[in-house]
Amino acid sequence: MEYRVVTMHWDGHDKGADHLERTLNEFAADGWEVVSVLPTVAGASVRSLIATSASAGTTEIAVVLKRAVPTSE
């Protein structure tokens, strides 16, 4: 298993949702599965990232992804 964390700018409302959906579908096409989506404010610390929830101040999201690593035979 391998993991990847991608940060994305949040554009808000429909525009942001459309962008997120397109991006997640691109990752899914490469075998990635979403583990978690963490809302944050650009420049926030990891501790505040974990403790926060989505709010009007959310400007970025961190998307945690995983996929199986192909085994070579």
Cα 14 to Cα 21: distance, rounded to the nearest angstrom: 10
DSSP three-state, residue 6: strand
* 72 domain-assigned: no
Range of the domain at 44: 2-67
* 45 domain-assigned: yes
Q: Write out pLDDT tens, residues 48-71.
A: 555 555 455 567 888 999 999 878
Q: Are 58 and 40 in contact (CB under 8 A)?
A: yes
pTM above 0.85, yes or no: no
What is the tally of structural domains in the chain? 1
* 55 domain-assigned: yes
* 73 domain-assigned: no
Q: Write out pLDDT tens, residues 11-43.
A: 777 777 888 899 999 999 999 999 998 887 666
